[in-house]
Structure 1
Amino acid sequence: MIKTDYHMHTCYSFDSDEKMEDIVKKSIDIGLREIVFTDHLEVIHPNKRIDSVIDYDKYVGEISYLKIKYGKDINILLGAEINLEPSIEKETNDYLSTYPFDFIIGSLHAFEFKDFATPDSSKGLTQDEYYKKYFEWGINCVKKDFNFSVLGHIDYIIRYGGYDNKFLNMDVHREYIKEILKTLIDKGKGIEINTAGLRYNLGHVHPKMEILQMYKDLGGEIVTIGSDAHKKTDLARDFDIAYDVLKKCGFKYYSRFEKMKPVFEKIN
């Protein structure tokens, strides 16, 4: 089974209260052998400056301490989840280069600094129009030269918009999604299976299986598995389902990372 969780948040993120050490202890208790802390490094407001809300010197220092204390039991990596905002591409990459990251998730959380999760972000748009806006923005973002490892929860948008259903019409959006996936593959970047979709009662992981199968059929190989846990009780949650999805799509491997380079782990 999968013993690596590549997406989690701690009290260093604005949306979590969990202490790093508690996450490490819980990860060991449930049998994980490798974890990556991927706290938010995001710019989703209009002042156009890097504002991570994280003291990264303290952050890296705490991870270094935990690696020494628990290194015999678990491998702990330094990661981040960034918001892909094209207008500050250089500033974001320059900031990331300051620290020795092992793994970075690039996510589509905001459109021109306006958070997709805000209630008024879809105002005046039909569901398909709103999702089209998201995927067109995604194409623009992934074609830039951001330094990231995998694109996070590619169909994240289906959680939001205030619509009665959470249905993604693939007939309408297929070509947009295909272009995102092809761009990622051409740039040597991967995607994640994010099991939070199940916790949000969407009925499937992010991305839905049809998108994951499309990625595989296009030649994509780099897939990480992450719980997107914001509390320790959600660590590695529904990884058995993620494992089955990988196998059903025909993947023979999932990915870990070492110093921003993918390492492939065989699926038994």
Structure 2
Amino acid sequence: MVTDGHNHTKHFSVDAGQTIDELISQARSKGFSRIGITEHYEVFFPDDGLDWTFDLEEYDKAFEEWRVKAAPDLELLKGIEFGYQPHVAKEIDRIAGLIPLDVVLLSVHLFRGKDFYADRECYKMPAKELHTEYMAMMAEMCENCENYDVAAHYDYINRYTDKLSDFVTYDECPKEFDRFFEAIISKEKALEINTKSIQKHKERGFTRHLPDAAILNRYRDMGGKMICLGSDSHFDGTFAVCFDEATEYLKSLGFTETVYFKDRKPYFESL
């Protein structure tokens, strides 16, 4: 079974509701032998009344206790998920080196400086324009940052729209996707397929829910070899959602393996 490399707990991610015990229980019940925990860390996040950072040394200490709790049948990989903004790239690189980590995820959670989970103003834009600008930010993030392993949920901008026919596709913004792929491939970083996006699209009745095949095919054609899966689980019952569907879809496109990171090094596992 492949690794679910993107999960959160209430202990360090301010928007999560599940405990480490609940997450471990879910992983065991589904037969997983390895999972990644990637707590949110947002540098200079716009003030929303929440603290999107945490004490790194406290996290490091707690994680060792979690590893003992999960052993010997479940391996926990210690990770972090940074939210990108142009002025925090160097700070992300610095903070990512402060404690030992297995994996570092980079994400874009803001659009024009606003959290589009709470502020849906951006969805008044035409979808093509919105997606093009967002993918340009994803490319910029991967170019400007160095100390990371995975570019997470490239389709996050699409998750909260009410326009159920809008879907991130390669043909909307090929130049931006190529720039994005060139950055992660040249730096030997991984592309994440976020299965929470699949789940949300299915639940809300989107006309499409699986990643655009042209995106994945272009990534491979450009030399991309590293794809990882993450459920982005925040609450009990959401671990590894749509994993079976995602793995079957990847296999149908000719992909044969996924990747996870341990001690910041990639390890491949067969689909």
User: What TM-score do the two structures reach when normalised by structure 2?
Assistant: 0.88
TM alignment of 1:186-225, pairs within 5 A: 186-201=186-201, 202=206, 203-205=208-210, 207-225=211-229
Distance change (3 Å), C-alpha of 1:45 and 1:33: same
> What are the equivalent positions in structure 2 for 1:166-181 lying under 5 Å apart?
166-168=166-168, 170-181=170-181
1:169 to partner: Cα distance: 5.0
Where 2:172 maps in the other structure, the secondary structure is helix
> What is the distance in 2 between the residues matched to 1:198 and 1:152?
14
Alignment partner of 1:76 is 2:73: no
Checking the alignment, whether the CA contact within 8 Å between 2:195 and 2:243 is kept in structure 1 is: yes
* SS of structure 1 residue aligned to 2:223: coil
Residue 256 of structure 1 aligns with which residue? 260
CA–CA separation in structure 1 for the residues paired with 2:105 and 2:121: 23
Task: Assess if the C-alpha contact under 8 Å between 2:168 and 2:212 holds in 1.
Answer: no
* Aligned AA (1:9): H
What secondary structure does 1:197 align onto? Answer: helix
Q: Does 1:57 align with 2:57?
A: yes
Residue aligning to 2:37: 37
SS in 2 for 1:262: strand
Distance in 1 of aligned mates of 2:260 and 2:164: 37
Closer, same or farther: CA 148–20 of 1 in aligned 2, 3 Å: same
Greater shift after overlay, 62-71 or 153-162?
153-162
The 5-angstrom pairing of residues 124-203 of structure 1 reads 125-163=125-163, 165-168=165-168, 170-201=170-201, 202=206, 203=208
Q: Which residue of 2 aligns with 1:9?
A: 8
Residue aligning to 1:108: 108
Per the alignment, residue 242 of structure 1 pairs with 246
Deviations for 1:44-98, whole angstroms, at most 9, x for unmatched residues? 6358xxx643222222222101212322111011101111222111212111111
Report the residue type matching 1:67 in the other structure.
R
Which aligned runs of 4 or more in structure 1 are off by greater than 4 angstroms?
A: none
Structure-1 separation of matches of 2:212 and 2:61: 37
Q: Deviations over 1:156-211 (max 9, x none)?
A: 21124554532335433122112211211011111111111222124424x43321
Moved more, 154-163 or 4-13: 154-163
Counterpart CA distance in 1 for 2:104 and 2:54 is 15
Contact 1:38 1:81 in 2 (8 A): yes
Measured at CA, do residues 85 and 146 of structure 1 come closer, stay the same or move farther in structure 2, by a change above 3 Å? farther
Stretches of structure 1 that go unaligned for 5 or more consecutive residues are: none
Report the CA distance between 1:127 and its aligned residue: 2.3
Aligned residue for 2:167, secondary structure, equals coil
Q: CA deviation at 1:216?
A: 1.4
Alignment partner of 1:228 is 2:227: no
1:122-148 alpha-carbon deviations (Å, 9 max, x no partner): 176322222222122222221113311
TM-score by length of 1: 0.89
* Aligned-pair CA distance for 1:29: 2.0
Question: Relative to 1, partners in 2 of residues 1:124 and 1:25: Cα closer, same or farther, differing over 3 Å?
Answer: closer
SS at match of 2:53: coil
Gaps of 5+ in 2: none
SS of 1:90's equivalent in the other structure is helix
What percent identity do the matched residue pairs reach?
30
Instruction: Tell me how large the CA RMSD over aligned residues is.
Output: 2.1
Aligned equivalent of 1:86: 86
Residue 23 of structure 1 and its aligned partner are, at CA, apart by 0.8
State how many pairs are aligned: 262
Q: Is the aligned partner of 1:266 residue 2:270? A: yes
Secondary structure (helix, strand or coil) at the match of 2:237 reads helix
* Amino acid of the structure 2 residue aligned with 1:25: S
Answering whether residue 117 of structure 2 is matched by residue 117 of structure 1, we say yes
